[in-house]
């Protein structure tokens, strides 16, 4: 009873920020992302009758307790679906370097959901797989699909209408996503903690909720029309709004470093020179810069000259789950 799957990570253009149900990972707002082609998690899951407990190896080592417990709790969800009590050996390879500035939880739980379900021969469609992956980490529900993906927040208390679906495949619209890494020694506040504190204490959070669904509609229209400028403008504004809500939290959540600002200003100045280039920022100091493939080299060379920039990794839209 063994299967293995690979899932790519994703970057949100309209951000998921805030939960209405922490246990089921139900979001306050819908979101939209691009699945990327460069960073992935590959996971094998083997259920065995004789095991007395679950085992989780991450990058060839037993995982830390906190990490392992998240995985074991997630396996409970799969066991419940299958009506089995069998324990499993989970072996995960993370090709999402921490330094790349992407969370590995999206690709991690998407790959685990896909491999676990296949190992038990459960017949889940993509929607059901997305609902399952969501319960490991919210953003994981988007990594089931390739290309451009929307996560509908849903309304129900049981989360059965909170899942992702694909808007365009990775082949339909190529854009370039530069992951621009900056120097930082900052102790990180996890996304999970950051969004919780924001929802509970920020007076600006209601402003976020007032406009995020409009941003989502604008982004979807831009994707439909292959309008890169509108997509970039909408994504950039949405990211800034998300960070603005965090600044109002108590105590404030500030992920930016001085290098983050340098990149923002350089992107703005490239734009003044006529290049269509935009940025988005997640729960960390690194910046993801969006541009058209024809401008990739110029944008990358210009940003690399900034002293605060350590490394740039160039990504494009990538595929959804694959079985290996
Ligand atoms: C996103 N982020 O939409 C947002 C934008 C970070 C900033 O999803 O608590 O690891 O596991 O559901 O998905 C990162 O948070 O949080 C995230 P949990 P997750 O991509």
Q: What is the CATH number of the domain that holds 288?
A: 3.30.70.890
Domain membership flag for residue 242:
yes
pLDDT tens for the chain, 324 residues long, are 999 999 999 999 999 999 999 999 999 999 999 999 999 999 999 999 999 999 999 999 999 999 999 999 999 999 999 999 999 999 999 998 766 667 789 999 999 999 999 999 999 999 999 999 999 999 999 999 999 999 999 999 999 999 999 999 999 999 999 999 997 776 689 999 999 999 999 999 999 999 999 999 999 999 999 999 999 999 999 999 999 999 999 999 999 999 999 999 999 999 999 999 999 999 999 999 999 999 999 999 999 999 999 999 999 999 999 999
Q: Which atom of ligand 1 is nearest to the CA of 14?
A: 3
Closest CA to 108 of 6, 1, 20: 6
**Shared domain check, 185 and 156:** no
Cβ proximity of 201 and 189 under 8 Å: no
* Alpha helix ranges (H) inside 86-227: 105-119, 126-134, 191-201, 205-224
Q: Whose CA is nearest to atom 14 of ligand 1?
A: 191
Cβ proximity of 86 and 1 under 8 Å: yes
Range of the domain at 302: 176-315
Q: Which atom of ligand 1 is nearest to the CA of 109?
A: 11
**Shared domain check, 213 and 124:** no
Cβ–ligand 1 distance for 107 under 6 Å, the answer no
**Shared domain check, 154 and 266:** no
**Shared domain check, 10 and 148:** yes
**What is the DSSP secondary structure assignment for residue 249, as one 8-state letter?**
S
- With the most atoms of ligand 1 within 8 angstroms of its CB, the residue from 105, 149, 244, 280 to mutate is 105
pTM over the 0.95 mark: yes
Rounded to whole angstroms, how far apart are CA atoms 78 and 275?
47
Rounded to whole angstroms, how far apart are CA atoms 194 and 284?
11
Cβ–ligand 1 distance for 20 under 6 Å, the answer no
**Shared domain check, 121 and 245:** no
**Shared domain check, 162 and 181:** no
CA of residue 108 relative to chain centroid, distance:
10
């Amino acid at each position: 009873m063994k299967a293995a799957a690979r899932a790519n990570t994703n970057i949100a253009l309209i951000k998921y920020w805030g939960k209405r149900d922490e246990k089921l990972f139900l979001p306050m707002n819908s979101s939209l992302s691009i699945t990327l082609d460069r960073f992935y998690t590959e996971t094998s899951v083997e259920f065995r009758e004789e095991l007395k407990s679950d085992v989780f190896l991450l990058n060839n080592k037993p995982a830390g307790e906190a990490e392992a417990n998240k995985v074991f709790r997630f396996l409970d969800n799969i066991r419940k679906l299958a009506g089995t009590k069998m324990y499993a050996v989970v072996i995960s390879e993370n090709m999402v370097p921490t330094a790349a500035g992407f969370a590995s939880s999206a690709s991690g739980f998407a790959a685990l959901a896909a491999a676990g379900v296949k190992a038990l021969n459960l017949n889940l469609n993509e929607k059901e797989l997305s609902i399952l992956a969501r319960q490991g980490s919210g953003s994981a529900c988007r990594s089931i699909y390739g290309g451009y993906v929307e996560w509908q927040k849903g309304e129900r208390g049981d989360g059965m209408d909170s899942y992702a679906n694909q808007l365009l495949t990775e082949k339909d619209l190529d854009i370039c996503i530069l992951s621009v890494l900056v120097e930082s020694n900052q102790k990180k506040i996890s996304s999970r903690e950051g969004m919780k504190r924001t929802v509970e204490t920020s007076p600006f959070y209601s402003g976020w909720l007032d406009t995020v669904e409009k941003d989502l509609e604008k982004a979807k229209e831009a994707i439909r029309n292959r309008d890169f400028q509108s997509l970039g403008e909408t994504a950039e504004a949405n990211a800034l709004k998300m960070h603005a809500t965090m600044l109002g939290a108590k105590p404030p959540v500030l992920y930016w470093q001085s290098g983050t600002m340098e990149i923002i200003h350089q992107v703005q100045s490239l734009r003044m020179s006529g290049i269509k280039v935009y940025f988005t920022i997640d729960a960390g100091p690194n910046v993801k810069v969006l541009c058209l493939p024809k401008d990739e080299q110029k944008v990358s060379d210009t940003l690399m000259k900034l002293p605060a920039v350590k490394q740039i990794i160039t990504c494009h839209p990538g595929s959804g789950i694959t079985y290996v």
